[in-house]
Amino acid sequence: MSFAERYGPWAVIAGASEGTGREFAKQIAAEGVSLILLARRTGPLEDLAAEIRKTGVEVVTASVDLARPDAAEQIVEVVGDREVGLYVNNAGADPNGSRFLDKDLQAWVDLAQRNVMTTLKSAYHFAGPMRARKRGGLLLVNSGACYGGGSFMATYSASKAFDLVFAEGLWAELKDHGVDVLTLVMGQTDTPAYRALLAEKGLPLPEHWASPADVARTGLAQLPHGPIFNWGQANDVAGYAPNSPDARRARIAMIDQHSRSTFGEG
């Protein structure tokens, strides 16, 4: 199948206004898939939509604060009865750069809501019809922080660890139903949000960081080969992770087979 046949006719991109989200939108639109673009700020979102509409691709936009408890319900309402073949969860950066106890609790509640609950609810809504149609994809953009905690990252690392293991489990559950699942583990990437955080902390820009266009292109290419891709590394290399994506895939398959036997499905 072509990209549009496999992941169309509509794609939802949460966190689409800038950086990698903007690049995902442009590259998916280039494949002829219509877009539902979601972000908190309407200005950049509408600018992107206007640019893409010039190519003849249909675009719907909506201002949704993904940290709100009802964010997933808002997304469902915006999508309506459109057939979504691809859900890209690109939101989830950490704007805080703070130790856990040095920040107001609400900041961490909002971060966990955005990275965990909104992701979980949205994946549930979109994956069901994909499984029934036996085609589609879920792409959860992640961070190398998912592989371990540290000061300044307690809540962020924990929420990204959830996304990692969640994607692994969904991959195991949906791979036999024609639905692709990938968590794209990013390293340092040149996004406006990351630049703003570095500027706020008075830190220099990295010498070597990924471009959003390359990250989006690689993520879409790796989507059929989930459940994990670590940016900048081959799938048989552990690198900064405890083990390689290939090793984790084998372990997930083993656990999945055991689970199927335990619950009477294999």
Catalytic residue numbers read 156, 160
**Considering only CA atoms, which of 75, 26, 79, 72 is closest in space to residue 52?**
26
Count CB neighbours of 137 within 10 A: 25
User: Residues 80, 139: contact at Cβ < 8 Å?
Assistant: no
Alpha helices in 61-186 (DSSP H): 71-79, 105-112, 118-133, 154-174
Task: Answer for the pair 154, 111: CB distance below 8 angstroms, yes or no.
Answer: no
The Cα–Cα gap between 242 and 5 comes to: 36
d(CA 49, CA 150): 38
Contact between residue 60 and residue 48 where contact means Cβ atoms under 8 Å apart: no
β-pairing verdict for 179-186 and 10-14: unpaired
Residue entry with tokens 């950490």: 94
Q: Are 35 and 60 in contact (CB under 8 A)?
A: yes
Give yes or no for a contact between 111 and 86, defined as CB atoms under 8 angstroms apart. no
Both structure tokens of 183: 């968590």
Are the C-beta atoms of residues 184 and 21 closer than 8 Å to each other?
A: no
The radius of gyration of the chain from alpha carbons, rounded to an integer in Å, stands at: 18
